[in-house]
Amino acid sequence: MKALAEGRGEGMGEIPRDERTIRDADVFEALDLTRRDMAPVRRAVEADDLKAAKATLVAHFRLRKRPRWFLDMRTAKPGPS
């Protein structure tokens, strides 16, 4: 997970339709852990403390001021192409 913390993850590429197939590593690979506001998550990932990384990431999303998303992509209807 250290490569992920250094921003060397390759990302998820395509978003899976079935969230049950997403691994913990997939989530952290898809994040930009080099961002200043992601530093606590990065430190937990670097320490291989998955429990703390998850808790810190959830706290980040709950406490951040922006952006605010009110759309759940699992239930969204496709728009015009």
Task: Enumerate the domain spans of the chain.
Answer: 2-63
The whole model's pTM is what? 0.63
Which of 64, 27, 20 is closest to 44 using CA atoms? 27
- Dist CA 53 CA 73 (whole Å): 24
- Mean pLDDT for the chain overall: 80
Yes or no: say if 79 and 73 are a contact pair by the CB < 8 Å rule.
no
Most confident of 2-6, 49-53, 60-64: 49-53
pLDDT of 65 reads 85
Computed over its alpha carbons, how large is the radius of gyration of the chain?
14
Yes or no: say if 47 and 56 are a contact pair by the CB < 8 Å rule.
no
Mean pLDDT across 25-45: 94
